Structure formats: structure tokens, C-alpha cells
């Protein structure tokens, strides 16, 4: 049996950085990864997909160049092999950077293999048994495949496999109208495929307020994407030239099908029951406000704990764990103000409460909205789709949440994120003097228009 000061299972966006901090403190750490360093973000998520989004935007800008007085001759051609290779290069550069970083780190032992608990302080991997007083789980999540009629009879794509396509689908049917599905839908439409989005629920991006969801749908429809919400009785069948996707109200002749119906944690094959670690009904590891499980010495970080589903929340889990365990701090998950983005174009930047959540909280609230068509920078760039929205507490004057669906919305939202984390009241932020011409300069104007509801 090999002994370590700590064992980290999974090399996503929490585990490796925590392992590195512990090594810096002179600890002996084993980092176990069954596949690739970097987790979903590096290998099948943020980095490759946003690289693909960038290629799709380049095609969109070129295709619409005449609007800006830039005339290109002939049709815009997409070389999907180059598109794929570019995304793979970004992934490999990041992955190899991690490999090189850990290789030069004394005290770090990287083991590739499938770890399973043998007890609360021991795990087995590749026929060896390892033990440590502290074990950290950062095993991530994977796509959910729903049990729909005919799904096992077709060759479907997931968010992991679609990034390896080097040919353009004739017609991509996206099953699921949430964040992952919508990004791929717009991306492949811009590459030149016909695209249909099929969503069981009544609206796209169901987490958002209805006005945001409607605006997202308008953006996608304006680019020629067919959207089918409220779809039921979804079924699949092979056809002579592809796949037939049938619902209660539509029949789609697709060449490819992307299943984007959510994700589930990679916790079903770790032997958690052997260690006594409790999970909820969805398989997420139950943790307290400091990320500790019910078993002393075992913590769960990142997507597998159900307390966040983003790279930045996973990294923040590392920050919380490191601060508490290594720096004598007392940080909590409940102190985190959730923020995220939807990377369609224009992007959606979101922080804090939705209007629906704020109304349900019983607070006296104030709301302000402003269309992007009234933002100078958006007009100058010729990108006026979407709008800004902010919700504030009428009594405390604190900002409760905001949504910016529009040009650079994923960056502009950070002014509000920072204000919320600093506890700044909206009147104070209203008196800031932003740079002109920017999209951010409209934040004080937006706040100045707050009105009670």
C-alpha cells in the first residue's frame, strides 16, 4: 500500500490546482485521472467549443461583410477539417501545459487509471492500493442520454463527440434547447448546416426569465434555425439518407442528431458506497457549505457535487477548499454569487437572481431594461439584437441580479458581478464614469432607470 498526504481523484478545474497548492506546502499528493488532464473544460467543453464558436463567428462576419462595405467574391466556404484541427490544437496546448507543469513538480504523482474506493481512506487504481487521510473528488460529469424510442438504433452525437466532426452535417437536429444545445445550434447553422432545435419544455433556456428566453429564440430564428418547443413523443428512426426525428407536431429529416439534454455526475463507478459517501437521487455527492462530504476527510469539488456546473464554479471550489484547509480561512459555497454566460452570438451574461426569483422572494424590487438598439457601441458595430436588464432591492438598494443579452454581454456583466460581490449599492455604481464608447457605459443609465414593480 502506498501512502500519501492527499489523494485527488479527477483532474478537472478543481483537483489539479488544489493538488499543486498542497505540493507547495510540502505534501505528497497522488493525482488520479482516468482519461485526460484538464477535465471537461479543456477536453470537451469550454476551450474546444468556444474555439468552434469563434470559427463560426468568423464565417458569419465574412458572410455579412457587404453590410460593412466589405465585398467578398463567391460563396463563403467552410473547411471543417481546419475548423476541427484548430479546436484540437487549443485543447492539446492546454492539456500538454498541464502535463508539463505536473512533470516538474516534486511531490506530485500523476496516475492514469480508474480509481475506486476500498474504504474511507483507501482507493485502488491499476491493481495498486493507495491511502491518504484526505481524499478529494473532482470527477466531473458527462452527457445524459434519455431513454427515447429508437435512440439506440441511431448514431447520435453528444457534446463530447460532436467536437470531433470534420464534415458538415446536411441537417443537424439538436435535442434539447438549453445552453449546450443552443451554442451548437447557432454554430453549425453558421457553418452552413440546416439546424432544428427540439425542446420538450415550453421555452428555450428554461432557467431564464421569459423575456430573455423569447429574445434568445428570436436571435436564433433570425439566422434560420427552426425551433420546436413543447415537443413531446420524440422518437428516432433510420432513414435512407439519415435519421428521421418525429415529435407530436413535427417530422424532421436530419443527417445528424445531437443529444443535449443535460449532464449527470461521474459518481456511479467510484465505489462511494464502500467509503460510505452519500449521494442524492441524481448521483451528486452531498456536501456541506465547505465542500465536505458526510465522511471525515473526503471532499467533493466541481460538477460532481451539484453546487455548480461551470468551470468557474469548479475553480472556486478549489479556492474555497484551499483557503479553508491551507490558509486558515473560513470560506463558504453559500457566499458565492452565481454568474454564467450563454455563448450564442450575441452572448448572454447572467448574474444573481432572475426577475421571477426576485418576485418570489417577497422583496420590494425595482427593474430596468434597455434595448441594445439604444446602445451606441452596438449601433456602431451593427449588432443591436438583445437587451439589458437589472433587478434591485428597493429597500437595501443592492443589485439582486442582471441579464445582458447583447454584444459583449459576457464581458459587460462583470461590472455588475464585481459590484454585487463588493456589496456596492446601485446609486454608487450609477455615479461611476465609464469609458465612451463602450457597451459598459450604459450600466449607469440602466441603473438610473430602475423603477418599482
Architecture of the CATH domain 151-261: 3-Layer(bba) Sandwich (3.50)
In the structure grid, which three cell numbers stand for residue 47, read together? 476551450
> Which of the residues 114, 200, 256, 436 is marked catalytic?
436
What is the C-alpha to C-alpha distance for residues 117 and 81, in angstroms, rounded to an integer?
42
pLDDT digits (tens, 9 = 90+) for 53-74: 999 999 999 999 999 999 998 8
Q: Is 200 a catalytic residue?
A: no
For β-strands 6-9 and 29-33, DSSP reports them as parallel
The answer to whether 431 and 419 are in contact (CB under 8 A) is no
Q: What is the per-residue pLDDT across 315-333, written as a single tens digit (0 to 9) for each? A: 999 999 999 999 999 999 9
- Residue 24, burial from CB neighbour count under 10 angstroms (0-12, 13-18, 19+): exposed
CATH architecture of 339-452: 2-Layer Sandwich (3.30)
For the chain, where do the domains classified as CATH 3.50.50.60 start and end? 2-142+264-335, 151-261
Q: Where are the domain boundaries for CATH 3.30.390.30 in the chain?
A: 339-452
Determine if the peptide bond prior to 262 is cis (ω within 30°): no
pLDDT at 103: 92
Per-residue pLDDT tens, the chain, 453 aa: give them: 999 999 999 999 999 999 999 999 999 999 999 999 999 999 999 999 999 999 999 999 999 999 999 999 888 999 999 999 999 999 999 999 999 999 999 999 999 999 999 999 999 999 999 999 999 999 999 999 999 999 999 999 999 999 999 999 999 999 999 999 999 999 999 999 999 999 999 999 999 999 999 999 999 999 999 999 999 999 999 999 999 999 999 999 999 999 999 999 999 999 999 999 999 999 999 999 999 999 999 999 999 999 998 999 999 999 999 999 999 999 999 999 999 999 999 999 999 999 999 999 999 999 999 999 999 999 999 999 999 999 999 999 999 999 999 999 999 999 999 999 999 999 999 999 999 999 999 999 999 999 999
* Residues 278, 293 contacting (CB under 8 angstroms): yes
Give the other-Cβ count within 10 Å of 289's Cβ. Answer: 13
* CATH classification for the domain delimited by 2-142+264-335, as one of 3.50.50.60, 3.40.50.720, 3.30.342.10, 3.40.50.620: 3.50.50.60
3 state SS for the chain: CEECCEEEECCCCCHHHHHHHHHHCCCCEEEEECCCCCHHHHHCCHHHHHHHHHHHHHHHHHHCHHHHCCCCCCCCCCCHHHHHHHHHHHHHHHHHHHHHHHHCCCCEEEEECCCEEEECCEEEECCEEEECCEEEECCCEEECCCCCCCHHHCCCECCCCHHHCCCCCCEEEEECCCHHHHHHHHHHHHHCCEEEEECCCCCCCCCCCHHHHHHHHHHHHHCCCEEECCCCCCEEEEECCEEEEECCCCEEEECEEEECCCEEECCCCCCHHHHCCCECCCCCECCCCCCECCCCCEEECHHHHCCCCCHHHHHHHHHHHHHHHHCCCCCCHHHCCCEEEECCCCCEEEEECCHHHHHHCCCCEEEEEEEHHHCHHHHHHCCCCCEEEEEEECCCCEEEEEEEECCCHHHHHHHHHHHHHHCCEHHHHHCCCCCCCCCCCHHHHHHHCCEEC
Amino acid at each position: 500500500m502506498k501512502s500519501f498526504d492527499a489523494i485527488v481523484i479527477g483532474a478537472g478545474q478543481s483537483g489539479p490546482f488544489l493538488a499543486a497548492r498542497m505540493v507547495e506546502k510540502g505534501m505528497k499528493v497522488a493525482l488520479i485521472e482516468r482519461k485526460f488532464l484538464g477535465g471537461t473544460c479543456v477536453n470537451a467543453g469550454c476551450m474546444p467549443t468556444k474555439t468552434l464558436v469563434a470559427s463560426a463567428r468568423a464565417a458569419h462576419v465574412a458572410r455579412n461583410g457587404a453590410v460593412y462595405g466589405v465585398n467578398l467574391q463567391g460563396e463563403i466556404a467552410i473547411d471543417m477539417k481546419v475548423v476541427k484541427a484548430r479546436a484540437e490544437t487549443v485543447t492539446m496546448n492546454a492539456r500538454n501545459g498541464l502535463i508539463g507543469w505536473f512533470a516538474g513538480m516534486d511531490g506530485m504523482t500523476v496516475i492514469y487509471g480508474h480509481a475506486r474506493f476500498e474504504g474511507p481512506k483507501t482507493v485502488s487504481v491499476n491493481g495498486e492500493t493507495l491511502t491518504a487521510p484526505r481524499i478529494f473528488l473532482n470527477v466531473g460529469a458527462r452527457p445524459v442520454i434519455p431513454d427515447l424510442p429508437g435512440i439506440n438504433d441511431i448514431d447520435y452525437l453528444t457534446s463530447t463527440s460532436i467536437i470531433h466532426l470534420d464534415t458538415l452535417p446536411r441537417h443537424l437536429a439538436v435535442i434539447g434547447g438549453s445552453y449546450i444545445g443552443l451554442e451548437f445550434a447557432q454554430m453549425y447553422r453558421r457553418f452552413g448546416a440546416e439546424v432544428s432545435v427540439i425542446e420538450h419544455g415550453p421555452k428555450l433556456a428554461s432557467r431564464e426569465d421569459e423575456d430573455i428566453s423569447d429574445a434568445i429564440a428570436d436571435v436564433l430564428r433570425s439566422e434560420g434555425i427552426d425551433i420546436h418547443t413543447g415537443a413531446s413523443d420524440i422518437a428516432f428512426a433510420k432513414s435512407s439518407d439519415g435519421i428521421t426525428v418525429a415529435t407530436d407536431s413535427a417530422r424532421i429529416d436530419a443527417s445528424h442528431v445531437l443529444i443535449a439534454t443535460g449532464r449527470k455526475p461521474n459518481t456511479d463507478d467510484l465505489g462511494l458506497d464502500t467509503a460510505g459517501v452519500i449521494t442524492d437521487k441524481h448521483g451528486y455527492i452531498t456536501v456541506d457549505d465547505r465542500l465536505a462530504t458526510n465522511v471525515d476527510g473526503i471532499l467533493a469539488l466541481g460538477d460532481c457535487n451539484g453546487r455548480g456546473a461551470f468551470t468557474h464554479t469548479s475553480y472556486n471550489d478549489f479556492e474555497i477548499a484551499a483557503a479553508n484547509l491551507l490558509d486558515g480561512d473560513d470560506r463558504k459555497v453559500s457566499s458565492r454569487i452565481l454568474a454564467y454566460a450563454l455563448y450564442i452570438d450575441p452572448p448572454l451574461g447572467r448574474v444573481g437572481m432572475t426577475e421571477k426569483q426576485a418576485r418570489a422572494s417577497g422583496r420590494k424590487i425595482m427593474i430596468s431594461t434597455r434595448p441594445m438598439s439604444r446602445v451606441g457601441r452596438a449601433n456602431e458595430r451593427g449588432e443591436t439584437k438583445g437587451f439589458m436588464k437589472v433587478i434591485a432591492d428597493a429597500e437595501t438598494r443592492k443589485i439582486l441580479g442582471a441579464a445582458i443579452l447583447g454584444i459583449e454581454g459576457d464581458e459587460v456583466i462583470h461590472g455588475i458581478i464585481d459590484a454585487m460581490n463588493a456589496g456596492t449599492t446601485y446609486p454608487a455604481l450609477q455615479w461611476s464614469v465609464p469609458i465612451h464608447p463602450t457597451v459598459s457605459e450604459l450600466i449607469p443609465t440602466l441603473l438610473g432607470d430602475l423603477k418599482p414593480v
